[in-house]
Amino acid sequence: MKKVYFIAYLLLGMFLFSCVNDLDSIKRVTSRSDAPDDVTEDLEIMQTDSGYAQFQLYAKIAETYTKPEALTKLKGGLKVNFFSKNGEIVSTLTASYGEINMSKGMFFVRDSVQLVNYEKNQRMETEELFWSQKDSSVFTNKAVIVRNPKGVLFGQGIRTKQDFSTYVFLKPTGRIDFDKK
């Protein structure tokens, strides 16, 4: 009888002590190396300087990565409003996908990219665009269409500021009507 109790206690002890989970072992089994560190839905960011709004960013889904470098991937559509010094929205950038490289201060967007200047009633369309936060420049080497009340311009590559008030085509083509004034 003592043998039966001893075996029962031995089995019970082995059962109780064998159910220990090591967190590092669980992470190795359950986590992927390419998984984001953080996922945010309906992201909204307002960048200000000295109390004045510079830009406002909306994104449906934001995935933040810290390795190999600080990168945020914006998925499901995004919108960036750029503000004047008076606090008015002067231009808006929209796209289906974007990436913010924190270490380089660069913002990359692609798929159905549009940049609109409201004062001049002009719209730029392209498939990919870069925005440097350091100097507020916006540029691409891809095909670009600019529409305004005077006509439609086409080109390969463009450089402009984030307010899209003036721009320079790298290789322009198209037709535009000028006033005689």
Sign of the C-alpha dihedral, residues 87, 109, 40, 34? negative
Measure the CA–CA gap between 51 and 92, rounded to whole angstroms: 20
The pLDDT value recorded for residue 42 is 94
The pLDDT value recorded for residue 144 is 96
The pLDDT value recorded for residue 155 is 93
**Nearest Cα residue to 125 out of 99, 158, 97, 83:** 158
Report residues of the chain scoring pLDDT below 70: 1-6, 8-33, 174-181
The pLDDT value recorded for residue 76 is 95
The pLDDT value recorded for residue 57 is 93
The pLDDT value recorded for residue 25 is 61
| Mean pLDDT, rounded, of the chain | 85
**Which domains are assigned to the chain?**
34-176 (2.60.450.10)
Sign of the C-alpha dihedral, residues 169, 172, 174, 180? positive
The pTM of the full predicted model, rounded to 2 decimals, is 0.76
Neighbours of 111 (CB within 10 A): 11
